[in-house]
A = this chain, B = another copy of it.
Amino acid sequence: MEENEILEAMDYEAIQEKQYDELTELLEKKDRKTLQQRLEEMNEFDVAEFLTEIDDNRMPMVFRLLSKETAAEVFANLEAPEQERIINAVTDQELSGIIEELYVDDAVDIMEELPANVVKRVMRTATPETRSLINQYLRYPEDSAGSIMTAEFVDLKKYMSVKESIARIRRIGEDKETIYVCFVTNAHRKLEGIVTVKDLLLHDDDMVIEDLMDRNVIFATTTEDQESVSEKFSDYDLMAMPVVDKEGRLVGIVTVDDVIDVMEQEATEDIEKMAGMTPSDKPYSRTRPLEIWRNRIPWLMFLMLSATFTSMILTSFESRLAAVAGLVPFIPMLMGTGGNSGAQSATAVIRSLSLGDIEPRDALAVIWKEWRVAALCGLTLSVINFGKMLLVDGLLLSNPHITVAVAATVSLSILFIVMFAKLVGSLLPIGAERIGLDPAVMANPLISTLTDAVSLLIYIFIAKMILHI
């Protein structure tokens, strides 16, 4: 990059593209020295992107041009297939160099994704300390604070002065995941407080940490769910959070960049569950069809079989519904409207629960609100449908079966179906949360299947009342 590039270019993507073109050219010209220089100047994420783009045979060669520190950070930014390819291409010594440079949380993430034989080789080349640390971290439950924390933090003692603390940060800070939040521990490694580099810089050199530190620490325990950790980050605008074990000893820290990944992952899981899928821990692009099938088929099957109730109802009443011509064709519309109405309520409630905007104890307020929304939506749809059936189906399409009584039956059914669907849609997620189930599974597919059967019953009941079927 030219010195004043940023003064000219108005868009980071354009700069990136130029960078890639230059790198590809250097690679073609086999100008390794300049290529090496350029790669060292780049962001690790961009280097990883570049490595993913170039062809598989040359990729490990380019990777080996990187310095030890850069290599580790680029490695952590690669996806599993590229990581595997590199591991297979480097010597044990190079591999060990990478592993020792990695933050332990990145190392653990990588171990969890790689095939068993590759993991074996990686663990063999690691030093005993690193190996035992990785093994310890691998034992924390999936999606717990322990599983996303890292061990590289700055610890201080409360009797240290600001000057001593800054000196310590300067000495040990290089390899820490963050130096901006420092953790004060006692002789038994118990957490006593935190102090930020801002506090240190804005106070006098001879002030003592004890008088400066914040004792009111927001912390997590190793087994705490990562979703609860990310909520605290969002509530308290944190940069890093200490993780303590059952005895209150500081064992690791979670940094905000990991929390961003957790938030993306949790949102994806919720979205997947809401569409009736088992969440996958791999990105879609890297999941094979057979795995996708495994994640999708249970709900599809369950919902297909649950539809048996709807079939049974329809079997019993088919002849009576068919007796008044014009009723049967509106069944799909009624079921669809019920499903969509219920899904809207369920989605709103599930998301609000997951953001902490509402809680199970707000159940009554939510139901009262949804009840009014349902009445408004139901009335609107009912009136519009009445007009539409008479004008479009009756007059325009000249369907002889559309009488005022039929239109009234369908329209009145819409009102009650929407009221029922929105009630169920808001009740089920809150009920699930209350009894400790995940509200996200009470979403669209389940509610549609449930409202399908009830919509049909409501329709039959109202047809009996109005049309005496």
Contacts and interface: CB of A to CB of B under 8 A. Distances in A.
Interface of A: 1, 3-8, 10-12, 41-43, 45, 166, 169-170, 173-174, 179-180, 190-193, 197-198, 201-202, 215-221, 232-237, 239, 246, 248, 256-257, 259-261, 263-264, 267-268, 270-272, 274-277, 283-285, 289-290, 292-293, 296-297, 299-301, 303-305, 307-308, 310-312, 314-315, 318, 322, 325-326, 328-333, 335-337, 339-341, 343-344, 346-349, 351-352, 355, 357-358, 362, 365, 369, 372-373, 376-377, 380-381, 384-385, 388, 392-393, 397, 399, 401, 414, 418, 444-445, 448-449, 452, 456
Given A272-B351, A274-B271, A340 B173 contact: no
Contacts of A297: 376-377, 380-381
Contacts of A170: 201-202
A190 to B, nearest CB: 5
B215 A6 contact: yes
Given A179-B198, A202-B173, A216-B41, A332 B332 contact: yes
Given A308-B333, A381-B304, A43 B218 contact: yes
B456 A332 contact: yes
A319 to B, nearest CB: 9
Given A336-B304, A377-B293, A271 B166 contact: no
Contact of A355 (B283, B304, B352, B369): B283
Nearest to A267: B267
B355 A336 contact: no
A448 B340 CA distance: 9
B311 A393 contact: yes
Given A292-B369, A329-B318, A43 B197 contact: no
A331 B331 contact: yes
21 contacts: A43-B216, A180-B180, A237-B260, A256-B256, A275-B348, A275-B444, A276-B340, A285-B362, A290-B376, A296-B373, A296-B377, A300-B381, A304-B336, A308-B333, A311-B332, A314-B331, A315-B329, A332-B456, A339-B448, A444-B444, A448-B448
A314 B290 contact: no
Nearest to A193: B6
Given A1-B215, A277-B348, A315-B399, 8 more contacts: A259-B260, A260-B260, A263-B263, A276-B340, A276-B343, A303-B340, A311-B330, A339-B339
Given A198-B179, A236-B43, A307 B292 contact: no
**Which applies to chain A's interface (DSSP): helix, strand, loop or mixed?**
helix
Nearest to A401: B315
B271 A270 contact: yes
A375 B217 CA distance: 54
Given A329-B311, A358-B285, A271 B351 contact: yes
Nearest to A171: B202
Contact of A260 (B7, B234, B381): B234
A458 to B, nearest CB: 14
A121 B456 CA distance: 56
A261 B289 CA distance: 34
A342 to B, nearest CB: 10
A234 B12 CA distance: 15
A180 B240 CA distance: 13
B340 A299 contact: yes
A328 B317 CA distance: 11
Nearest to A235: B45
Contact of A328 (B197, B270, B328): B328
Given A332-B307, A336-B452, A357 B285 contact: yes
Contacts of A312: 329, 397
Contacts of A45: 235-237
B337 A285 contact: no
Given A180-B197, A372-B289, A388-B305, A6 B192 contact: yes
A271 B347 contact: yes
Given A43-B216, A234-B260, A304-B333, A275 B347 contact: yes
